[in-house]
Amino acid sequence: MPSLCYIKYIMQVTVELPDQVARQWGKTPDAVGRHVMEDAAIEGYRAGRLSHRQVGEMLGMDYWQVEAFLKDRGVPLNYSAADLEADIATLAKIPACS
């Protein structure tokens, strides 16, 4: 039986910001980095470039933490009418319990 292996690759990115701008995100480089990552995740999700799962991977959050994170920041769920129709079609295939 083949073993399942998940290898996570991380790209490190350096961003240079004027001190005055960086201080708007935090007092330490770690705080600034975290806030910049959160803002990038929010924008990526809003633009449809990042999925819910990718936001979680990016920020080290589970499903429900991402839900709360996006909700707290007023980010609407990326869920279209086509997504709803697909979900309804899937539900219609499930046999009813009697």
What pTM value is reported for the model?
0.73
Q: What is the structure's pLDDT at 1?
A: 54
- pLDDT of the residue at 86: 86
d(CA 48, CA 65): 19
pLDDT digits (tens, 9 = 90+) for 5-45: 666 788 888 889 899 999 998 999 999 999 999 999 999 99
Higher pLDDT, 86 or 68: 68
Rounded CA separation 31/13 (Å): 15
Q: Check whether 91 has a pLDDT greater than 80.
A: yes
Give me the pLDDT at residue 94, please. Answer: 87
* 2-to-5, 83 alpha-carbon distances in Å: 9, 34
